Amino acid sequence: MAIRDEIIEIVNKAGSTWTAGRNGRFQNATLADLKTLLGTVMPDEEGYYEPAAKTVFATPTSNIPESFDVRTNWPNCASVTGHVRDQACCGSCWAFGSTEAFNDRHCIATGDSKTILSPEDTVACCSGPRCGFSMGCNGGQPAGAWKWFSNEGVVTGGDYADVGKGTSCKPYSMAPMDHCGDTLYDTPKCTSSCSDSNYGTSYSSDKLFAKGEYSIKGVEDMQKELMEKGTLSVALTVYEDFDAYTGGVYQHVTGKKLGGHAIKMVGWGVDNGTPYWTCINSWSENWGEKGSFRILRGANECGIEGSVVAGDV
């Protein structure tokens, strides 16, 4: 059997809190394909950048509910906060996990559900010491990106399907595909002009800026931050069984460590007594629970509670 068949069998026989299977996103993919999509620097790795922790919250611990979801708490922004994107064959998860969280928070703070921000602008331009030494399609750090949003800003940018429509400045130029093979995208060139010539706003005028970045420590503070400000940028260590996730509350069962991966976190809940976080991935709706996943809460599963950042907008 192929290694993925073995992993699916092991997970499902283990009677864990989640179900393994074959996702459309990785139907013909190899482990090398999966590794291509990773590249976030984790706290135990060299060069990890972490901003100062936020320590003051308005919400008392006693007011934390059993479940919460950014998508339903701010229904006007559901089209933004629930939007599932596709990073294609580029290790740009760090740019998606940060840019999307900034996008969500912008909508929550302002009510603007029309603006969609550009992960391409982030992955192309956010580099060097001003961005936690992020390296485009070769990986990076959400915390560095949040610092970049404060200092340099980010422009609008829709998905690959939006290229040429004139609806945003820098739509994502890398076409989605289920099997990367030798088609690995190079980091797009950083430009100070919009890539979509049909868009009517200049690059400099199109930028949105954050008002600072910070880290959040501990389960309760993560919950308070989600309730007060919205989506968080988080990261986890990916193992071989993660790509086979099709539903339930994920916790690592089997397989080797592949690398760090950044996503956005939108809430939490409890499933048959198992506490979980709700996260949205950037692997299209053909993976997991229509592009999202739930992961064990309260045990720092795969490091999900150890690398949490956000910022004011």
> What is the chain written as a DSSP string?
--HHHHHHHHHHHHT-SEEE---GGGTT--HHHHHHT--BPPTTSTT---PPBP---SS-GGG--S-EEHHHHSGGGHHHHT---B--SSB-HHHHHHHHHHHHHHHHHH---S--B-HHHHHHH--BGGGTTB-TTB-B-HHHHHHHHHHT-B-B---GGGTTSSSSSS---SPP-S--TT--PPPPPP-SS-S-TT--S-HHHH-B--S-EEE--SHHHHHHHHHHT--EEEEEEEETTGGGEEEEEE---SS-EEEEEEEEEEEEEEETTEEEEEEE-SB-TTSTBTTEEEEE-SS-GGGTTSS-EEE--
pLDDT digits (tens, 9 = 90+) for 34-75: 888 898 989 988 889 999 999 999 999 999 999 999 999 999
Output the pLDDT for position 291. Answer: 97
Cα gap 224→227, rounded to integer Å? 5
pLDDT attached to residue 25: 84
Instruction: Dump pLDDT digits (tens) for 126-142.
Output: 988 888 888 889 999 99
Using the structure block, give the residue that is written with the tokens 């139907």: 27
The pLDDT assigned to 184 comes to: 75
Task: Tell me if 178 sits within 8 A of 25, measured CB to CB.
Answer: yes
Is 261 one of the catalytic residues?
yes
Domains and their CATH numbers in the chain:
3-311 (3.90.70.10)
Which residue stretches of the chain have pLDDT < 70?
A: 1-3, 178, 181-183
Which one is catalytic: 23, 77, 261, 279? 261
Residues 6+ apart with CB under 8 A from 58: 224, 228
Cα 280 from Cα 26, distance rounded (Å):
17
Please count the CA atoms within 13 angstroms of the CA of 76 that sit on its side-chain side. 11
Query: Has 93 been annotated as catalytic?
Result: yes
Residue 18 β-bridge partners = 248
**What was the pLDDT predicted at 81?**
98
pLDDT at 183: 67
Of the candidates 234, 242, 273, 280, the residue with the CA atom closest to the CA atom of residue 258 = 242
Out of 103, 125, 281, 302, the active site residue is 281
How many residues appear in the chain?
313
Residue 76 is among the residues annotated as catalytic for this protein: no
Catalytic choice (89, 93, 279, 302): 93
Place of tokens 């393994």: 20
